Amino acid sequence: MNREHARRLERQLAGAETYLVAWHDDVLAGHGAVQWQGCTDAEVRAAFPDCPEIYGLSVRPELRGRGIGTALIGAAEDRVRQRGLRWIGISVDVDNPDAGRLYERLGYLAKLRYRGVWSYLDAAGTKHVVDEPAIFMVKDLPS
């Protein structure tokens, strides 16, 4: 079984992130997290220090277009404002223009192209490494 939700809860309990979930009726509709130390990529973190990152944002395909992603992003922005921070970032794969357009519509600006390298465990527990071109987008949050 994929333990990603359990790992995210563990990171939240340790204070490293805030895990956000969205429900539609009784179905887990989407999830994501605010990673408080910022992007794990060193180049991005150096360019945008103290910029928490929304990551792992996902909405069930059959529920997309209903405002769930927008609501998750809004909840993330609220958490960042509550901590008194001035900006927030999100990475998007260059091969995901729909997500990029959503982030732009919500006020995020493309700031830095980089190679996004990350890993995940599949349902069988096999680790996969992903290396893809990405764009780090940033939004200023007025206090």
DSSP output for 86-121: -EEEEEEETT-HHHHHHHHHTT-EEEEEEEEEEEEE
Question: What's the confidence (pLDDT) of residue 117?
Answer: 87
26: left (phi over 0), alpha (psi -120 to 50) or beta: alpha
- Going residue by residue through the chain (143 aa), what tens digit of pLDDT does each one get? 457 778 888 888 999 999 999 999 999 999 999 999 999 999 999 999 999 999 999 999 999 999 999 999 999 999 999 999 999 999 999 999 999 999 999 999 999 999 988 887 777 888 999 899 999 999 999 87
Q: Where are the beta strands (DSSP E) in the chain?
A: 17-24, 27-35, 53-59, 87-93, 109-121, 127-140
**Cα dihedral 46, 97, 88, 129 sign:** negative
Question: What's the confidence (pLDDT) of residue 1?
Answer: 42
This model's pTM is above 0.85:
yes
Q: How far apart are CA 22 and CA 33, in angstroms?
A: 11
Amino acid letter at 66?
R
**Greatest CA separation for the chain:** 44
Q: Tell me the angle at which helices 68-82 and 97-105 cross, rounded to the nearest 10 degrees.
A: 50
Q: How far apart are CA 17 and CA 28, in angstroms?
A: 19
Question: What's the confidence (pLDDT) of residue 2?
Answer: 57
CATH code for position 59 = 3.40.630.30
Q: How far apart are CA 37 and CA 111, in angstroms?
A: 18
User: What is the number of structural domains in the chain?
Assistant: 1
- Give me the domain span that covers residue 10: 4-140
Question: How many residues comprise the chain?
Answer: 143
